[in-house]
């Protein structure tokens, strides 16, 4: 389908793109700081990735190759919808392979192989503020960020250890950027957080409903919070392996077969495909 | 002996003030909090106090006398309009604690000056375990070893006779237990000063007696200095060595607790003592 002629390239008008880019620049300059911005209406409901979509549409250029995935899967409804909309308004090329993509929009996952230099990962963020759990007053929360007053966040981790003997926070695990701001990495699983440390690509977070943009610039120091005697740990899948590619060193999700027995599958569908292709090649050789 | 906390001319008003009530020399004429001319409320007027290491000073007075304002000012929850407070072990006592930045104030109220409130929900997070409430102070000052922090919290909670309640949500504890969690939390950094704002008001008599015993024991063993705000002369007699009587934001009498109880000088102190013993 060709882009509708009445719409500007990439849907947003130039003024709006400039606003978002300005916010992105500021966010990159102050790693982890939440930059307020004018969140424009896009034909996606707030909470379905409108913030990420605005960043993608503002940064996209004619030669960008776009990958959109959701929960690690390229074929989920949300990913397909967003990808189709981006193609409709830009006619840019898309790919499922993160190695080929220059602009990646995602929810929940960072590609299993990580990011390389020159890539931008746009994450759709629902709640930009890691302090929202304890402090509902925005003004107070901003003051706490300004003063690096994060004892309540640490308390949340402490309580998790008291209840479960280890930190059992699945998503929104607080991470410290360059020793200064604590950032909410949205629902990225703990598994992916080590990839953010000293990452070559740029990671941008867009919260459309909350009207905030924040970023992790390339090669930032990213430390998930942890205690000296209870350090941060990624999820463990003891004895589990993907039932399609046999991988036991990727982030797995569990599902139930028709006969009720449990099985595991790679969360990153493209990575799983590549693993299977490699296996086939090995078998042929 | 050098005072630990020396408070000079501490003044807090709510309102703009007028010529009549701003003039310090005429404060004796105004008998109420509110200036009759402009209506400005003077919560505290020129309070001077030296608190020495290891002593407990009582603050008495009826509602509206400025007791809670004094606690708010010293716990750095509010800023005075005038006056200073120097803490001997913070910056060598050279600077008033009100000249501290917001971050320094947080450090001061976390480590040096602790507060035990009458309303436990002001001092504690009710959705968090009692151990977590104690540990929060350690986390705020940068400790990151769960084992050490839990051992410290465990010791203090046992000390406050809260055995086995470390991982119970604070909101589920009784009122007396909450007060003891507050005291454990206040003790965690071995502060030099603790402010007790009516710590036992509203508790039943036996619980009150037990809590006061624990405060006395903690004071003897940890050696902090304390300000004890109360309207109860019996509490004062048990804990404090000397006391100030406040009325309409001014100190109208000061002396040892025995003196004040046996032989109150100001008519207002006499009224206060007689009304509480009957």
More confident residue, B34 or B195: B195
Cβ atoms within 10 Å, residue B170: 23
Residue B219 CA to residue B3 CA, distance in Å, equals 17
Question: Cβ A149–B129 below 8 Å, yes or no?
Answer: no
| Residues B75, B115: Cα–Cα separation, whole Å | 7
Q: Tokens 């804990």 sit at which residue?
A: B239
Phi (first) and psi of residue A121, to 5 degrees: -105, 125
Dihedral-angle region of residue A176 (phi above 0 means left; psi in -120 to 50 means alpha; beta otherwise): beta
**Does position B260 have pLDDT exceeding 80, yes or no?**
yes
Q: What are B253's strand-pairing partners?
A: B245
The DSSP bridge pattern shows strands B41-51 and B193-197 to be: unpaired
Chain A within 8 Å of B167 (Cβ-Cβ)?
Answer: yes
**Residues of the domain holding B267:** 5-277
Name the architecture of domain A14-224.
Answer: 3-Layer(aba) Sandwich (3.40)
Span B63-86, average pLDDT = 92
CA geometry: angle B143, B147, B151, nearest 5 deg? 95
Which CATH number is B189's domain given? Answer: 3.40.50.300
> Can you give the length of chain A in residues?
285
Tens digits of residue pLDDT in B116-153: 999 999 999 999 999 999 999 999 999 999 999 999 99
* Residues in A lying within 8 Å of B, measured between beta carbons: 143, 147, 149, 151-152, 154-155, 158-159, 161-162, 227-230
Task: Give B78→chain A minimum CA distance, Å.
Answer: 16
Closest partner residue to B132 (CB to CB) among A143, A158, A229 is: A158
Q: Both tokens of residue B26?
A: 């005429």
pLDDT in tens, A1-56: 555 567 889 999 999 999 999 999 999 999 999 999 999 889 999 989 999 999 99
User: Are A151 and B132 within 8 A, CB to CB?
Assistant: no
Q: What is the pLDDT of residue B278?
A: 43
If one compares A279 and B19, the residue with the highest pLDDT of the two is A279
Q: pLDDT tens digit string along B152-208?
A: 999 999 999 999 999 999 999 999 999 999 999 999 999 999 999 999 888 888 899
Distance CA B79, CA B75 (A): 10
* Total domains present in chain B: 1
Question: What residues of chain A lie within 8 A of the CB of B103, using their CB?
Answer: 147
Instruction: Provide the shortest C-alpha distance from residue A190 to chain B (in Å).
Output: 20
CA distances from B113 to A131, A242, B10, B19 (A): 26, 57, 17, 35
B205–A contact, CB cutoff 8 A: no
* A267 and A69 Cβ atoms separated by less than 8 Å: no
* Whether A252 contacts A237, CB under 8 Å: yes
Tell me what the mean pLDDT of segment A140-154 comes to: 92
- Which 8-state DSSP code applies to residue B97? G
Find out whether A19 and A49 touch, Cβ atoms under 8 Å. Answer: no
Q: What is the interface pTM, i.e. ipTM, of the complex?
A: 0.86
Instruction: Name every chain A residue with its beta carbon within 8 A of the beta carbon of B135.
Output: 155, 158
pLDDT of residue A5: 63
Which tokens in the block code for residue A29? 């300059």
Collect all residues of chain A within an 8 Å Cβ-Cβ radius of residue B139.
Answer: 151, 154-155, 158
Measured between beta carbons, the chain B residues lying within 8 angstroms of A155 are 125, 128, 132, 135-136, 139
Catalytic residue list contains A29: no
Distance CA B261, CA B258 (A): 5
């Amino acid at each position: 389908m060709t882009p509708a002629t009445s719409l500007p390239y990439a849907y947003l008008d130039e003024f709006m793109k400039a606003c978002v880019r300005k916010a992105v620049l500021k966010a990159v300059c102050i790693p982890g700081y939440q930059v307020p911005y004018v969140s424009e209406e896009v034909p996606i409901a707030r909470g379905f990735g409108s913030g990420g979509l605005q960043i993608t549409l503002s940064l996209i250029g004619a030669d960008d190759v776009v990958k959109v995935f959701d929960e690690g899967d390229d074929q989920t409804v949300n990913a397909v919808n967003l990808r189709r909309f981006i193609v409709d308004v830009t006619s840019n090329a898309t790919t499922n392979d993160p190695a080929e993509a220059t602009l990646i929009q995602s929810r929940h996952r960072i590609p299993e192989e990580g990011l390389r230099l020159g890539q931008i990962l746009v994450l759709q963020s629902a709640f930009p503020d890691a302090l929202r759990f304890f402090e509902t007053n925005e003004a107070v929360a901003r003051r706490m960020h300004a003063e690096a007053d994060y004892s309540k966040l640490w308390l949340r981790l402490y309580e998790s250890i008291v209840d479960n003997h280890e930190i059992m926070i699945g998503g929104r695990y607080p991470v410290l950027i360059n020793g200064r701001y604590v950032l909410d990495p949205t629902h990225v699983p703990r598994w992916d957080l080590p990839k953010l440390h000293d990452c070559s690509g740029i990671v941008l977070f867009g919260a459309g409903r909350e009207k905030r943009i924040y970023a992790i610039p390339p090669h930032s120091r990213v430390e998930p919070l942890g205690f000296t005697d209870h350090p941060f740990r990624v999820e463990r899948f003891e004895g589990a392996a993907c039932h399609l590619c046999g991988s036991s060193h990727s982030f797995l999700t569990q599902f139930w077969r028709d006969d009720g027995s449990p099985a595991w599958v790679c969360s990153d569908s493209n990575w799983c495909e590549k693993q299977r292709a490699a296996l086939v090649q090995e078998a042929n050789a | 002996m050098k005072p630990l906390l020396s408070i000079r001319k501490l003044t807090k008003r709510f309102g703009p003030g007028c010529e009549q009530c701003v003039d310090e020399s005429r404060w004796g004429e105004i008998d109420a909090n509110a200036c009759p001319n402009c209506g400005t409320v003077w919560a505290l007027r020129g309070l001077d106090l030296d608190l020495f290491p290891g002593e407990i000073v009582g603050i008495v007075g009826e509602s509206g006398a400025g007791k809670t304002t004094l606690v708010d000012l010293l716990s750095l929850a509010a800023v005075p309009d005038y006056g200073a407070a120097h803490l001997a072990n913070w910056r060598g006592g050279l600077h008033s604690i009100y000249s501290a930045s917001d971050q320094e104030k947080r450090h001061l109220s976390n480590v040096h000056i602790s507060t035990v409130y009458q309303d436990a929900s002001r001092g504690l997070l009710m959705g968090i375990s009692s151990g977590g409430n104690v540990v929060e102070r350690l986390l705020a000052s940068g400790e990151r070893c769960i084992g050490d922090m839990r051992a410290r919290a465990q010791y203090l909670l046992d000390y406050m006779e809260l055995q086995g309640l470390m991982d119970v949500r604070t909101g589920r504890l009784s009122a007396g237990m909450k007060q003891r969690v507050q005291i454990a939390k206040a003790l965690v950094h071995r502060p030099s000063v603790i402010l007790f704002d009516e710590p036992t008001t509203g508790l039943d008599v036996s619980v009150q007696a037990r809590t006061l015993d624990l405060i006395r024991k903690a004071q003897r063993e940890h050696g902090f200095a304390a300000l004890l705000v109360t309207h109860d002369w019996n509490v004062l007699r048990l804990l404090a060595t000397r006391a100030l009587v406040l009325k309409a934001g001014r100190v109208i009498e000061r002396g040892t607790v025995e003196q004040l109880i046996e032989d109150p000088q100001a008519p207002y102190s006499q009224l206060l003592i007689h009304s509480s013993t009957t």
